[in-house]
């Protein structure tokens, strides 16, 4: 292992630490709830290890019964995890240089958190397998460990709402979203996604909000994108709405204007 590899793995571990700590109460909560729904701690461990998708795991607990409705469980899982298709597609060019094995196994432990951090890092420098492994492996071990502990400890934990543990996931994601606020059209994407997801949640119910919100947010970005895009001008939502300005090659090529439109707090 070269010094570079080690440094990359360390950087991965350092970046994943906050989500890792935030996942501790969430994992304990999942394990405790799962046992309450009739799962054995060994089954909790197996599910966390093989599925490794918190949102989907929480959602199927609502469906859990004896006998287990396998079709409904699989369908709900697919719907909630459909976002992985988008996430994987977005990550693909950034991990294209990874060895095949790392790519195919590594993407198997892609989660919202390690993916968001990888995307953030890819904006600054190329992604390396060591960075990905340094993030993803501890995060996976942590989830399996704490969901299992939650299952074993069960009711000893008391009410997780008492310490706001049920909100930790939301707070973590708000932090991740804030990390992307400089991305082009960020405000419009967040607004469209949040509105559509909240409406879908109220109108239809749980698993559908992810697909609805993601679709609306992406649609907003596409609608506001100039046909022949200059990213700097496109980054300003006010100007992006003006087809003359967005399509004007003189202004688009003018670094002074581009620089001005990009300047943000």
Partner 1 sequence: MVDGQTLAAILAMAAVTYATRIGGVLIADRLVLGPRLKAAFDAIPLAVLTAVIAPMALATGPAETLAAAVTALAALRLPLIGTVAVGAAAVVLFRAVLG
Residue ranges in 189-208 that form contacts with partner 1 under rule CB under 8 A = 189-190, 192-198, 201-202, 206
Q: Which residue's CB is nearer to partner 1, number 3 or number 238?
A: 238
> Does 145 sit near partner 1 (CB under 8 A)?
no
Among 73, 102, 137, 157, binds partner 1 (CB under 8 A): 73
Q: Which residue's CB is nearer to partner 1, number 6 or number 243?
A: 243
* CB neighbour list of residue 7: distance below 8 Å, 6 or more residues apart: none
Q: What b/e string do you get for 175-204 counting C-beta neighbours within 10 Å, with b at 16 or more?
A: ebeeeeeeebbbebbbebbeebbeebbeee
* CB neighbour list of residue 70: distance below 8 Å, 6 or more residues apart: none
Report the nearest approach of partner 1 to the CB of residue 1 (Å).
Answer: 26
* CB neighbour list of residue 262: distance below 8 Å, 6 or more residues apart: 232, 235, 236
Alpha-carbon gap, residue 115 to 256, rounded angstroms: 34
> Does 116 sit near partner 1 (CB under 8 A)?
yes
Among 214, 232, 233, 257, binds partner 1 (CB under 8 A): 214
Give the footprint of partner 1 on residues 53-72 (CB under 8 A).
53, 55-57, 60, 66-68, 70
Report the nearest approach of partner 1 to the CB of residue 212 (Å).
Answer: 7
Report the nearest approach of partner 1 to the CB of residue 65 (Å).
Answer: 10
| Number of shown-chain residues binding partner 1 (CB under 8 A) | 106
Q: Which residue's CB is nearer to partner 1, number 4 or number 43?
A: 43
**Cβ atoms of residues 122 and 139 within 8 Å:** no
> Does 232 sit near partner 1 (CB under 8 A)?
no
Task: Using alpha carbons, list the distances in angstroms from residue 15 to 1, 84, 91, 146, 261.
Answer: 20, 21, 17, 19, 31
Alpha-carbon gap, residue 149 to 216, rounded angstroms: 38
Report the nearest approach of partner 1 to the CB of residue 68 (Å).
Answer: 4
> Does 91 sit near partner 1 (CB under 8 A)?
yes
> Does 6 sit near partner 1 (CB under 8 A)?
no
Among 1, 3, 156, 222, binds partner 1 (CB under 8 A): 222
Candidates 5-13, 83-91, 124-132, 138-146; binding stretch for partner 1 (CB under 8 A)? 83-91
**Cβ atoms of residues 139 and 16 within 8 Å:** yes
């Amino acid at each position: 292992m070269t010094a570079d590899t080690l440094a990359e793995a360390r950087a991965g571990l350092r970046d994943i630490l906050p989500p890792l700590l935030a996942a501790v109460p969430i994992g304990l909560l999942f394990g405790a709830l799962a046992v309450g729904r009739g799962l054995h701690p060994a089954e909790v461990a197996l599910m966390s290890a093989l599925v490794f998708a918190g949102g989907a795991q929480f959602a199927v607990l609502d469906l859990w019964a004896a006998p287990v409705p396998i079709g409904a469980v699989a369908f709900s899982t697919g719907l909630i995890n459909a976002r992985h298709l988008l996430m994987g597609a977005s990550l693909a060019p950034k991990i294209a240089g990874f060895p095949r094995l790392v790519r195919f196994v590594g993407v198997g432990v892609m989660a919202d958190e390690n993916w968001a951090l990888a995307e953030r890092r890819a904006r600054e420098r190329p992604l390396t397998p060591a960075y990905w492994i340094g993030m993803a492996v501890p995060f996976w071990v942590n989830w399996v460990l704490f969901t299992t502990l939650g299952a074993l400890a069960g009711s000893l934990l008391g009410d997780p709402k008492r310490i706001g543990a049920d909100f930790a996931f939301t707070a973590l994601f708000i932090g991740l979203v804030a990390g992307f606020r400089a991305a082009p059209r960020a405000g419009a994407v967040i607004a469209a996604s949040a509105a559509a997801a909240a409406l879908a949640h109220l109108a239809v119910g749980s698993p559908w909000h992810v697909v609805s919100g993601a679709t609306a947010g992406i649609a907003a970005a596409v609608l506001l994108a100039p046909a022949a895009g200059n990213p700097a001008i496109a980054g300003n939502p006010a100007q992006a709405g003006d087809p003359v300005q967005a399509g004007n090659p003189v202004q688009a090529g003018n670094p002074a204007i581009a620089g001005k439109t990009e300047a943000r707090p």
